Structure 1
Amino acid sequence: MKIESGERRQASILHADLDSFYASVEQRDDPSLRGRPVLVGGGVVVAASYEAKALGVRCPMPGHEARALVPRAVTVPPRFAAYTQAGREVFDVFHDITPLVEPISVDEAFLDVGGLEKISGTPVVIATRVRERVREQVGLPITVGIATNKFVAKVASAAGKPDGLLHIPAGGEIDFLHPLPVRSLWGVGAKTEARLHDAGIETVGQMASLGEEHLSSLLGRGTGRHLYALAMAHDPRRVTTGKRRSSIGAQRALGRRAKSAADIEATLIAIVDDLGRRLRAAHRETRTIVLRLRFHDFERITRSRTLGEPTDGTEVVLAVARGLLDEAMPQIRDRGCTLIGLSLTNLSDHGAVQLAIPFGGDDHAGELDVAIDSVSTRFGKGAVTRGVLVGRRAMPETPKLPDR
């Protein structure tokens, strides 16, 4: 496979990434926290300011370990509603700059500014404007990487942090990438990095010099081809907009205090109710339900089940989710649970698949879902609540991108 470095002759792809997002929002909203090490989350640190990261804090990390590293750190509880709102304001800036915006998460996106030079200036000028407007309008620092393709732009933004701008001109991709450590490439985790180090490969340039065939013999054909392509700055993907999401999901942090099986199930029920509303609002149906759990030792497991027919029914999803949770409950009892998440994947548009005839009678469950959705939309999500959820404190939810 012959690979040329770069796919475009102009570096016009921007990767914009907010810096230490959660902690930056906390420092923005509380001036007394600025310049100080900040930990977001008590039992488990979900985010840390750069002042804390400079002293060794990593995320996720047990709160007691982080506070041992940085005794003078200030710990604040997460405020996910504030983070979601800040993310929306930042994306408003992105969309005002260019219509070609591809969200990656609540705090980062790719922007294609090719063809805007006569209207808005060079990509560097546009990137500078993005940073200035996010700082002025939202009050947050953001780093932007500029390159000929998405992969190099993302690596550039990581290298430019914090609060920076790094431009990799067309033709300069190889010089930029090859001195970097192999962990800079997508797909190089701890195990792959260790295997490469055992083979004497420390940098991206050494990986490229090894060649695709030797790399494939070391890591497997698929991984070898993928990493060799990235090492040669090859990424043909374009910035895409309007693509419907292939999944929707939500998760709740449970903290490190012991939770009963009933508490965990109640949290799962609340997640399912929320996802059911979102699924129907987007006029989608799901066939695959995925349960994700994180234990006290930070290990994670994933369990999934695929249905014979797609559904948008809350009770169907809940029955499957409960079954997956029951299967995992022995591990939860032994290891504790700090996070529970659920994703609905394998989505299709509502009515796109011919469903089996409901010989059991009318779909009263579907009518009930619609009625509850209507009441919730008009009077708020708390207007109709399951009895099992009454009196229970809602667990914090991580921000999510809007369903599209």
Structure 2
Amino acid sequence: MSDVVLRMRNAEREAGDGRREAGDPAADADGPGRAPARSDAHDVLLTELCSVLFASLPRADQRRKGVEYLRGLLGAEGRKSIRNIARLIGGQATEQNLHHFISSSTWDWDPVRAALAQYVTAVAPPRAWVVRQTVIPKAGEHSVGVDRRFISSLGQVLNAQQAIGVWSASDEVSMPVNWRLHLSQAWLDDVPRRSQASIPASVNTRSLGDCAVAAVLELTSAWGLPARPVVADVRETDGMKVVRRLRTGGVPFMVRVNSTLPLVPVDGGPAGPGAEAVPAHRIIGAHQGRCRPVAWTDHGTGGGRRTDLVAAVRVADPAGSARLPGAGGRPRGAGGELLLLGAGAPGRRWPQELWLATAPDLPPATLFRLSRLTGRVERDFEGIADRTGIRDYTGRSFNGWHRHVTLASAAHAVAALANTGDRPLRRAC
């Protein structure tokens, strides 16, 4: 168990004991010292996290404002706007100072975000890095990156920002650690808007898939975080391009793909082993007889234990497949074989989901359970991230948006770790 979690729980117990001795009836509301000690747990976590988080900030006043902003994200009522945060902290002068601190100050958010990711990884080691797309509806047109977009997951056109978050995820807890804001070509070609938002010259057009890969690779290549499987839904982008870039970067992955994604069967399929590329759903359909029940824990809002039918078959990337001499015509994928998984609930049309994974030697059940961490992230996004202001930045500044989501991610980490209760968290060695 990590030192910070031990201190947090000691603070909870001491706070509860003190309240009971003083005759506070609320002290036993949810068990000894639990409900009223939430702020004490936050304070313990804030003290340790802020000492790490703001070490790169050169000035004491910047570090102080960083702590104030975090406290505001955790404590302000309603929308976590700078105005509401300032109202909690100290009024109009504070509002002006915090607005400057977030939107136009010179402090670099990148080392702060790296420090957050390293802290989170040490306190609650992840099983996977989960990539999640975040849609941020906007009423106006001046917020950085806002566009009229068709959001396929919602089936509608929205005026919104679109961001990619990478989350540290385990069965117990998930926390966002890195972000990319998607900027359209229209935004980057509009010189006045680009200048007004202070978008750096180095920022160029990237697809959502490119944003996801860049954010993932930064974790290990720039920040030195441990390699963990990447779990992502790539159906809304060029899925095979994402797969190839992750493989080139040496990153293991488990990605949800479209049923029409062309792949080359290795174990045989509709046209036998070594066939030309065929849609993924036809390959897995030919192996439906391999389905086995896999029990898993629903970490999402549904909760409880569930069972799905899972089948797996080895495949290769059509761009890198070649006939192996003397190997019966079996194809060899560039960088090795992949594993195609089909999954679905019993009694329903099968498969409902298709996933493509590296590490074909791992049991399909293990890989499938890894994919279910997306439910953990969805639950924590709705229950924590949205309440700590992850979508609440209203300014026009590109750097301001990144500073805000970095500190909102830190607030999420404080709230998430404080909410772990008695669940064990172990500090990585």
Q: Classify the TM-score, shorter chain.
A: under 0.3
Q: Which has the higher contact order (CA 8 A, sep 6+)?
A: 2
**Given the two structures, how large is their TM-score scaled by the length of structure 1?**
0.23
TM-score, structure 2 normalization: 0.22
